[in-house]
Amino acid sequence: MVSVGAADHADFASPGPGWAEQNPRDWWRACQLAVRKMLQQSQVDPAHIACVGLTGQMHGAVVLDAKKEVVRPAIIWCDQRGDDEIQHFSRQFGAERLIRVACNPGLTNFTLTKLLWIRQHEPQNWERIRSIMLPKDYIRLCLTGDAATDVADASGTLLLEVAKRQWSSEILSAAGIPPEWLPALFESSAITGAVSAEAAELTGLKPGTPVAAGAGDQAAGAVGMGIVRPGSVSVTIGTSGVVFAATERPALDPGGRLHTFCHALPNRWHVMGVTQAAGLSLRWFRDRFGAGEDHLNDDGRDPYARLADEAAQSPPGAEGVFWVPYLMGERTPHLDPKARGAWLGLLATHGRPHMIRSILEGVAFSLKDSFSIFEELKIPVETIRLGGGGARSPLWRQIQADVYGREVELVVTEEGAAYGAAILAGVGANHWNSAEEACEAAVRVSKRIAPVPASAALLQQNYKLYRRIYPALRSIFQ
State the Cα–Cα distance between residues 62 and 129, nearest whole angstrom.
Answer: 10
Instruction: Specify the pLDDT at position 98.
Output: 96
Residue 11 has pLDDT above 90, yes or no: no
* Residue 423 belongs to a domain: no
Instruction: Specify the pLDDT at position 9.
Output: 42
CB count, 10 Å around CB of 80?
19
Q: Which residues are known catalytic residues?
A: 217
* Residue 316 belongs to a domain: yes
Residues 281 and 327 grouped into a single domain: yes
Can you point out the beta strands (E) in 197-240?
Answer: 210-212, 215-216, 231-237
> 270: buried, middle or exposed (CB in 10 Å: 19+, 13-18, 0-12)?
buried
Residues 166 and 302 grouped into a single domain: no
Mean pLDDT value across residues 333-358: 96
Angle (CA) 217-19-92 rounded to 5° is 85
Residues 357 and 383 grouped into a single domain: yes
- Supply the range of the domain harboring residue 309: 226-415+444-478
Residues 236 and 161 grouped into a single domain: no
Residues 243 and 206 grouped into a single domain: no
Q: Which of 181, 215, 249 is the last residue of a domain?
A: 215
Residue 14 has pLDDT above 90, yes or no: no
Instruction: Specify the pLDDT at position 138.
Output: 98
Residue 298 has pLDDT above 90, yes or no: no
Q: Which of 215, 244, 272 is the last residue of a domain?
A: 215
Instruction: Specify the pLDDT at position 2.
Output: 61
- Report how many domains make up the chain: 2
Residues 265 and 351 grouped into a single domain: yes
Instruction: Give the pLDDT confidence of 188-200 residue by residue, as tens digits.
Output: 999 999 999 999 9
Q: What is the DSSP letter of 403?
A: H
Residues 211 and 239 grouped into a single domain: no
Q: How many CA atoms lie within 13 A of 112 on its CB side?
A: 30
Angle (CA) 60-212-218 rounded to 5° is 45
Arithmetic mean of pLDDT over the chain: 94
State the Cα–Cα distance between residues 223 and 228, nearest whole angstrom.
Answer: 6
Residues 123 and 50 grouped into a single domain: yes
Residues 147 and 17 grouped into a single domain: yes
Instruction: Give the pLDDT confidence of 117-160 residue by residue, as tens digits.
Output: 999 999 999 999 999 999 999 999 999 999 999 999 999 999 99
Mean pLDDT value across residues 288-314: 83
Residue 8 has pLDDT above 60, yes or no: no
Q: Which of 196, 215, 234 is the last residue of a domain?
A: 215
Instruction: Specify the pLDDT at position 478.
Output: 80
The amino acid present at 420, given as its one-letter code, is: G
Is 308 in a helix, a strand, or coil? helix
Q: How is 118-161 classified by DSSP, letter by letter? A: HHHH-HHHHTT--EEE-HHHHHHHHHHS--EEEHHHHGGGT-EE
Residues 197 and 288 grouped into a single domain: no
Instruction: Give the pLDDT confidence of 376-408 residue by residue, as tens digits.
Output: 999 999 999 999 889 999 999 999 999 999 999
Instruction: Specify the pLDDT at position 292.
Output: 75
CATH of the domain at 230: 3.30.420.40
3-state helix, strand, coil in the chain (%, to 5): 45, 20, 40
Residues 49 and 83 grouped into a single domain: yes
* Residue 318 belongs to a domain: yes
Residues 274 and 211 grouped into a single domain: no
Instruction: Give the pLDDT confidence of 207-254 residue by residue, as tens digits.
Output: 999 999 999 999 999 999 999 999 999 999 998 999 999 999 998 888
* Residue 449 belongs to a domain: yes
State the Cα–Cα distance between residues 456 and 224, nearest whole angstrom.
Answer: 29
Task: Express as a percent the part of the chain with pLDDT over 70.
Answer: 96
* Residue 371 belongs to a domain: yes
Q: pTM for the full model?
A: 0.87
* Residue 221 belongs to a domain: no
The amino acid present at 127, given as its one-letter code, is: E
Instruction: Give the pLDDT confidence of 26-58 residue by residue, as tens digits.
Output: 999 999 999 999 999 999 999 999 999 999 999
Mark out the alpha helices in 341-452 (DSSP H runs): 352-376, 394-404, 417-428, 435-442
Residue 469's H or E segment, with its range, is: helix 469-477
* Residue 86 belongs to a domain: yes
Within the chain, what is the greatest distance between any pair of CA atoms?
65
CB count, 10 Å around CB of 249?
11
State the Cα–Cα distance between residues 173 and 185, nearest whole angstrom.
Answer: 18
Task: Express as a percent the part of the chain with pLDDT over 90.
Answer: 88
Cβ proximity of 337 and 300 under 8 Å: no
* Residue 432 belongs to a domain: no
- Confidence grade of residue 12 (pLDDT, cut at 50, 70, 90): confident
Cβ proximity of 438 and 426 under 8 Å: yes
Q: 292 or 181, which is more confident?
A: 181
Instruction: Specify the pLDDT at position 3.
Output: 59
Instruction: Specify the pLDDT at position 254.
Output: 87
Q: How many CA atoms lie within 13 A of 196 on its CB side?
A: 11
Cβ proximity of 174 and 93 under 8 Å: yes
Residue 317 has pLDDT above 70, yes or no: yes
- Confidence grade of residue 6 (pLDDT, cut at 50, 70, 90): very low
